[in-house]
Structure 1
Amino acid sequence: MFTHMRIARPVTDPEKSFQMYSQGLGLQKLADFEDHQGFSGIMSGREDLPWHLEFTVCLHHPVQPLHTAEDLFVLYYPDKAEWEQACARMIDAGFSRVDSFNPYWDVNGRTFVDHDGYRVVLQNRAWG
């Protein structure tokens, strides 16, 4: 069984991505690196979570972020007040609210998109 999950995404500006996700989701900088074999990046998460997000940029051959309307990062907030606060923080952090491509996600959640087009769904329900 694995002990930790890293979701790595190429972005246009790792610092901007970190700031947005930090403010919107309450994540912290876990680590960063500069020009490691041509890549720079920031790892964002929390010590109490079994996952983190890594935002990278290739300094020599930039990779444009590629995503679809169905590439989703979904987080579950069972408490309605906490979910509403998280949704407000996402807007304050610079995310845009969008309708989900799959209408399932709009029944109990809201979908947000970052500056590179990556989507985050905040669900107002418990997982499982």
Structure 2
Amino acid sequence: MTTDTWSSTLGVVQVRFARPTDRLDAMIRFYADGLGLNELHRFENHEGYDGVMLGLPGADYHLEFTTHTDGSPGDAPSADNLLVLYFASEAKMYETVQRLGEFGAEPVPTENPYWAANGAIAFADPDGWQVVLMPQPVF
């Protein structure tokens, strides 16, 4: 069963996926310039942290990347830690694939064969985390 509203028992109105990195500028280039996400907010020197929130306009979910003056662990723990972006069409997905190629990003193989079997193309971000581009929504 799918719904377009949050569960009435949860009470959540916004979701943020936050991740540390030692490559903040490269991450911003990859996700904003390469993928095309909008920069929603940026902060500097907050208790030793700098960071940026990236996402889709008007969406109640976004990505946050932070870096700390003492360093941040940033490498992906496995090839199956994924951010999956579902596109309205294959043509829209390939616009992003082309932009990432112009940006210098190369596709990478996914660990789970499901993605390639369903037309997905994956790219590794500067920390090695995979971003999977799917040509259509699942449901």
TM-score by length of 1: 0.89
Report the alpha carbon displacement of residue 34 of structure 1 after superposing the two structures with TM.
1.1
Secondary structure, aligned partner of 1:122:
strand
Report the alpha carbon displacement of residue 55 of structure 1 after superposing the two structures with TM.
1.0
The 1-side partners of 2:111 and 2:68 are apart by: 30
Match of residue 26 from structure 1: 36
- Give CA deviations for 1:69-119 in whole Å, capped at 9, x if unaligned: 010000111311111111112222343310101111111201110121011
2:62 matched to 1:66? no
**Taking structure 1 as reference, are residues 90 and 50 closer, same or farther at Cα in structure 2, changes over 3 Å only?**
farther
Checking the alignment, whether the CA contact within 8 Å between 1:65 and 1:116 is kept in structure 2 is yes
Match of residue 109 from structure 1: 120
What is the aligned-residue identity percentage? 33
2:111 matched to 1:89? no
Match of residue 127 from structure 1: 138
| Segment of structure 1 superposing worse, 38-47 or 109-118 | 38-47
- Give CA deviations for 1:6-35 in whole Å, capped at 9, x if unaligned: 111111221221121112222121111111
RMSD: 1.5
The 2-side partners of 1:45 and 1:104 are apart by: 26
Match of residue 78 from structure 1: 88
Please tell me whether Structure 1 or Structure 2 has the larger radius of gyration of its CA atoms. Answer: 2
TM-score by length of 2: 0.83
The 2-side partners of 1:19 and 1:66 are apart by: 17
The 1-side partners of 2:95 and 2:56 are apart by: 18
Equivalent AA in structure 2 for residue 119 of structure 1: Q
The 2-side partners of 1:46 and 1:2 are apart by: 18
Checking the alignment, whether the CA contact within 8 Å between 2:23 and 2:126 is kept in structure 1 is no
The 1-side partners of 2:106 and 2:38 are apart by: 21
Equivalent AA in structure 1 for residue 96 of structure 2: A
